[in-house]
Amino acid sequence: KAGVTQTPRYLIKTRGQQVTLSCSPISGHRSVSWYQQTPGQGLQFLFEYFSETQRNKGNFPGRFSGRQFSNSRSEMNVSTLELGDSALYLCASTQGQGYGYTFGSGTRLTVV
Amino acid sequence: GDSVTQMEGPVTLSEEAFLTINCTYTATGYPSLFWYVQYPGEGLQLLLKATKADDKGSNKGFEATYRKETTSFHLEKGSVQVSDSAVYFCALSDLAVSGAGSYQLTFGKGTKLSVIP
């Protein structure tokens, strides 16, 4: 069974640019969540999608957005990049709350 | 809001030593509890979970018991190996304030474990 796939693994962008990250969940998992990991703030929840609908959003500015497609694949977008957006972005999928969440390997974004 | 507090370490142990990583939580609902492990340059791997009080999660020699009365979920292993060196995260999953049937993970800050031969 394929795991959660995130692409690309690494990205280097310049301040002010925008970026799109992709996540393919485990087949059959309809819930996809995104998390930001930084050394200072740790792991922080960005948003969660279920059946193409954003059900929940963390405390991040509107520059952070996402969407989910009918095949459950998800993308997140960050516009007007800032140096502080440099982080490991992790995607997780689940078939239900009690089952646990399976994480991808993440996308390492560096903003210069 | 929900929160998770775990010992931050770093923790350095000799091979075959006993491991305990403390984790306590605060939650508004009745959460599920998890331990995740992260190896360098990788994402998070689910180590074990427990979904109700007194449940014991176990995997690869690691154990943790959901203690509702003390709001704790301490991670233990009887004999650590060099290959256990990693960062360990305690987490809870609770129904989001926004409702809509959404759950989100709240993580502790992580504990870096180094096991020396």
The predicted pLDDT at position B38 comes to 96
Of A35, A55, A101, the CB nearest to B102: A55
Window 21-80 of B: residues touching A by CB (8 A cutoff) are 32, 34, 36, 42-46, 49, 51
Hey, are the CB atoms on B46 and A101 less than 8 Å from each other? yes
Beta strands B111-116 and B11-14, pairing class: parallel
* Residue B8 pLDDT class (50, 70, 90 cuts): confident
Is the distance from CB of B90 to CB of B33 less than 8 angstroms?
A: yes
Give the helix, strand, coil percentages of chain B, each rounded to 5: 5, 55, 45
* Residue A13 pLDDT class (50, 70, 90 cuts): very high
How far apart CA B28 and CA B88 sit, in angstroms, is 24
* Mean pLDDT to the nearest integer, B77-101: 87
CA distances from B8 to A18, A106, B113 (A): 34, 23, 10
Is the distance from CB of A110 to CB of A12 less than 8 angstroms?
A: yes
**Nearest chain B Cα to A49, which residue?**
B102
Question: Angle A79-A54-A47 (CA atoms, 0-180°, nearest 5)?
Answer: 60
B15-59 tens-digit pLDDT? 999 999 999 999 988 899 999 999 988 899 999 999 999 999 999
A29-69 tens-digit pLDDT? 999 999 999 999 999 999 999 999 999 999 999 999 999 99
How far apart CA B63 and CA B81 sit, in angstroms, is 15
